[in-house]
Amino acid sequence: MNGPGEAHRPRKRFGQNFLVSPGIIRNIVEAIAPQRADRVVEIGPGLGALTEPLLERVEHLHVVEIDRDLIARLRERFEPSRLTIHEGDALEFDFGALGSDLRVVGNLPYNISTPLLFHLAGFADAVRDMHFMLQKEVVDRMVADPGTADYGRLSVMLQYRFDMDRLIVVPPGAFNPAPKVDSAIVRLIPKAKVVLAARDEALLARLVLAAFGQRRKMLRNNLRGLVDESGLEAVGIKPTARAEELAVGDYVRLVLSMAASAARNGS
């Protein structure tokens, strides 16, 4: 274990790559533009590279951190009246317990970024916006257009729930240790409930997972057991189409049609 005065050795099992570029840190904080009374929660504060400039802008900050050594360092540096530390795994953390209108930020561990994004999507109703540093490849998938190689399950499910923008591409040299890939900052803003037309979001998730189960196969094969060819044709979708050819709205229309059919059949 590292003592208080020793350098922290990044731990691979926690996916630790610490942001060290002052310019990138400044760009992130400016993109967030936090206001004094904002309820901000930082995931994975690490050595406090973002924590400190955020505390210069907000009255109080919540952080979620799993590494006990880093938690000890944070407690030494920051007063509990300014910083609340939630010890544990962000994948299991109840963000809804922090209240509403949350502004969530962080340099997310790349090894758990996709499941963590899905976990956070479940708290979208309590969120104003989210700003994350992620592997650029993941961000490209998040914002991908239909018909492209990057477009997949992550694209559909997050684009259904959020408006998203890739803001800044970040080179490996901005981190210690330097990852082997480029990174990017992405902004996610939850869509208003009134535009979330799918109604049965669990069915949407199941449908999209099945559709992209085997990308090279046609929908009539991947969706067998969920919807038949006539069900696809009823909403203008070719049974021979592949999952990446459908826009988010196509999946929503299909879910609505499936739900209506189930209701008519009493199931």
Q: Mean per-residue pLDDT for 146-168?
A: 96
Cα–Cα distance, 66 to 21 (Å, whole number): 23
* 3, part of any domain: no
* 124, part of any domain: yes
**Structural domain boundaries enclosing 260:** 201-264
* 7, part of any domain: no
pLDDT digits (tens, 9 = 90+) for 86-116: 999 999 999 999 999 999 999 888 888 999 9
Does the pLDDT at position 217 exceed 80?
A: yes
pLDDT digits (tens, 9 = 90+) for 27-77: 999 999 999 999 999 999 988 999 999 999 999 999 999 999 999 999 999
Q: Which of 144, 174, 195 is the last residue of a domain?
A: 195
Q: Based on the structure, what is the number of domains in the chain? A: 2
- pLDDT for 14 equals 42
Q: Print the SS3 string covering the chain.
A: CCCCCCCCCCCHHHCCCEECCHHHHHHHHHHHCCCCCCEEEEECCCCCCCHHHHHCCCCCEEEEECCHHHHHHHHHHCCCCCEEEEECCCCCCCHHHHCCCEEEEEECCHHHHHHHHHHHHCCHHHEEEEEEEEEHHHHHHHCCCCCCCCCCHHHHHHHHHEEEEEEEEECHHHEECCCCCCEEEEEEEECCHHHCCCCCHHHHHHHHHHHCCCCCCCHHHHCCCCCCHHHHHHCCCCCCCCHHHCCHHHHHHHHHHHHHHHHHCCC
- pLDDT for 136 equals 96
Residues 117 and 63 in one domain: yes
- pLDDT for 8 equals 47
Does the pLDDT at position 236 exceed 70?
A: yes
Residues 98 and 59 in one domain: yes
- pLDDT for 11 equals 44
Q: Which of 195, 214, 249 is the last residue of a domain?
A: 195
* 70, part of any domain: yes
Residues 64 and 129 in one domain: yes
Residues 143 and 227 in one domain: no
Confidence of residue 266 (pLDDT cuts 50, 70, 90): low
